[in-house]
Copies of this chain bind each other. A is one copy, B any other.
Amino acid sequence: MEPHVGKKRENVTRSIRYIEEAARNGASLVVLPELANTGYVFADREEALALSEELSDGETTQIWGDAARRFGVYIVAGIAERAGKRLFNSAVFIGPTGVIGAYRKLHLWNDENRFFEPGNLGVPVFDTPLGRISIAICYDGWFPEVYRLAATQGADIVCVPTNWVPMPGQPADRGAMATTLTMAAAHSNGLMIACANRIGTERGQSFIGQSLIVGGDGWPLAGPASRDREEILYAALDLERARAGRTLNAFNHVLRDRRSDVYDPMLGTGWTSSPA
């Protein structure tokens, strides 16, 4: 998608058109970009505040909730969340019967630090009829801890609303580093990952598109999409296959082979939960 900053009504309306199209084509889970309703490049905190909404009863949540019910789909979508006086760069997770939960971006990128509070809901995993679903947003994907925490809590799918921007050092003839990070995280954890990026340029900041859906073996099932066109990517996610694929041979399992005994004492602590 190409949201336009400040044009909330227009952005949400276009998102509903795409959700409907995806649902008609068989989608059961739809992922929209980061800050899909508001746009990304706020001039200042006041602008972000004016565009933000309480998740429980905000207008955008209601409209997306209506769509989820009407089309029978699950939706993960980026939204500027107001919680009292605080703002979060959040994603709301909505199913056919209403809001399931929310995720608040843990790792804020650049000027987001001026507007938003760092996320305080951890890495939640939501148990749904579609599978166990976790959420990360954009720069969160630079931290392998996030995917590991999702996987060790039993997540099958991580939905990633994102607003990837060009990274320094990116060779013009190669795919985005974000693709590499996503594939590595999927492969190392046996996770399926669906990343929805935006396109376009907003107040001088360009975005790189290249949305993709990656299988539990780390190879793309769909995409990377183009850098500059709105489009919908589709993939069939096979939960049993991804779970079975974590067993690599008679000795190895990508999660159970973790050496918590080593990781923990070395740094005082570690990631010790067992895979579900």
Contacts and interface: CB of A to CB of B under 8 A. Distances in A.
Nearest to A168: B217
Interface string A131-173: 0000000010011110011001000000000000001111100
Copies of this chain assembled into the complex? 2
A107 B76 CA distance: 36
A259 B169 contact: no
A72 interface: no
Interface string A250-264: 111010011100111
A168 B254 CA distance: 14
A276 interface: no
A contact patch SS: loop
**What is the size category of the interface that chain A forms with chain B?**
35 or more
B183 A187 contact: no
Contacts of A180: 180, 183-184, 187, 218
A267 B183 contact: no
A177 B218 contact: yes
Contacts of A217: 167-169
Interface stretch (A45-53, A108-116, A223-231, A232-240): A108-116
A167 to B, nearest CB: 8
A177 B187 contact: yes
A142 B254 contact: yes
Contacts of A118: 259
A11 B110 CA distance: 51
A181 interface: yes
Given A110-B249, A143-B188, A180-B218, A273 B268 contact: yes
A259 B106 contact: yes
Name the residue in A143, A149, A217, A219 with the highest tally of chain B Cβ atoms < 10 Å from its Cβ.
A143
19 contacts: A106-B259, A110-B249, A110-B250, A123-B262, A143-B188, A143-B258, A143-B259, A167-B217, A168-B217, A168-B245, A169-B218, A169-B245, A184-B185, A263-B271, A264-B269, A267-B270, A267-B271, A270-B270, A270-B271
